[in-house]
Structure 1
């Protein structure tokens, strides 16, 4: 694919879910993809399946971990910040420890990774940074105040940095999926069934109803949007938040 083939791409959270789908899509487009994450087994599986060329074990929330990983695998022309986590609790039961975890993985981790990868992009005068946010970056949901605040912060980072690098050949964008068929949604389904006694099918329907199409988004649909943003055809798309949600967010 024009602008992607032959380039090095790093995908954080690339061992499963949306990150894995993005890694596979970039690989098919001709990129040399390195997947990063905390767990070795899914990263190895991604490489074995042909979804990535290599992997690095790196926790983006740990100081110095991402720069050390880049020193081993090389600096990317494309960075996709797909690592993320969600925790739910009523606001009054959302303690500082939950706030810290949500901010660290969903916002500060992406900021740290981008800070490490950006200098080489600026030197080359070509680069793509794509942050996987959420419709929670565009609207509110009950019982996930810390998660939603962190994703709103990630969108703010996207918009501000995009303006800083706009004249330097680098674009920074966010993709905001609705409820997507991933482990995070599976965990949400499990919480709903445990707390309400609903069946798994009823819990999934509860999440799917947010989407006017009445279904969960598929990881490959998110990956297709990321792929577009990484190509030369999207060179004028900068600082945008693209929702992949079936029309949930106006």
Structure 2
């Protein structure tokens, strides 16, 4: 195989992506479909699900709910197995001082961001073992750096990195690879809300907050959802066959947050 060929996933991969109807998840779903994969996604946004590109199948499911995850895997059974699972679902959680974060907000963030990944991995592992496939867990640069006023989010993302590395050790002898992708500041509506909320907490303008955020990025720019999709494709290609247990930042080098 030529090196250039090793950078392209084989056609016909069976791919499941959580929160795949918007943002990063949608970019990943479209990239896999363009590469010839059969793609099934879940999301809670009914309008976005209805607007998915033709050929991408879907389930309206919330990964914080056991019954929804069960239904997701029942629906995805039409793929006949799974080669790649992207654990992408997550929420930003509250922006507040620790003494102002109520238990419900803390628990909801952990339940979706971390426990949701457990629920999906728990059900996906037997299928990935059969295919000697790949699990990609979406973390964040907040999973390697401290993040003031975003403690539940950061705690969940640090936990995802540990979850990933532990699963890689556990499943590697059976041929299953597990990696985490750590996006930085990704352009889109979600980061706009995060910047606005943090600006309000700090008592500064949106423009000032955005400029301050980008000043902490070596390349002084946001990354695009397609940058994250490109990393997911590479990990799924033959060239990524020996990459496992890694926390891979796609962030233009965020130095601090």
Both structures adopt the same fold (TM-score exceeding 0.5) = yes
**Structure 1 ranges of 4+ moved more than 6 A:** none
Partner residue, 1:106: 113
Distance in 1 (CA, whole Å) between partners of 2:34 and 2:40 is 13
After TM superposition, the structure 1 stretch with the greater mean CA deviation from structure 2, 115-124 or 148-157, is: 115-124
User: Matches of residues 57-72 of structure 1 in structure 2 within 5 Å?
Assistant: 57-72=60-75
Can you give the 5+ residue segments of structure 1 that lack an aligned partner in the other structure? none
**Candidates 31, 34, 42, aligned match of 1:25:** 31
> 1:99-141 CA deviation, whole Å, 9 max, x = no partner?
21111111110110111111011123x2110011000111111
Question: Size of the alignment, in residue pairs?
Answer: 246
Structure 2 CA distance for partners of 1:249 and 1:119, relative to 1, 3 Å: farther
Q: Is the 8 A contact 1:138 1:152 kept in 2?
A: yes
* 2:103 alignment counterpart: 96
Judge conservation of contact 1:34–1:55 (CA < 8 Å) in 2: yes
The structural deviation recorded for 1:190 is 2.3
How is 1:226-237 mapped onto 2 (pairs within 5 angstroms)?
226-237=232-243
Question: Is there any run of 5+ residues in structure 2 with no aligned partner, and where?
Answer: 1-6
Q: TM-score, normalised by structure 1?
A: 0.92
Q: Which residue of 2 aligns with 1:37?
A: 43
- Give the conservation status (yes or no) of the 8 Å contact 1:7–1:31: yes
CA distances 1:136-167 after superposition (whole Å, capped 9, x unpaired): 11111100111111111111110000011112
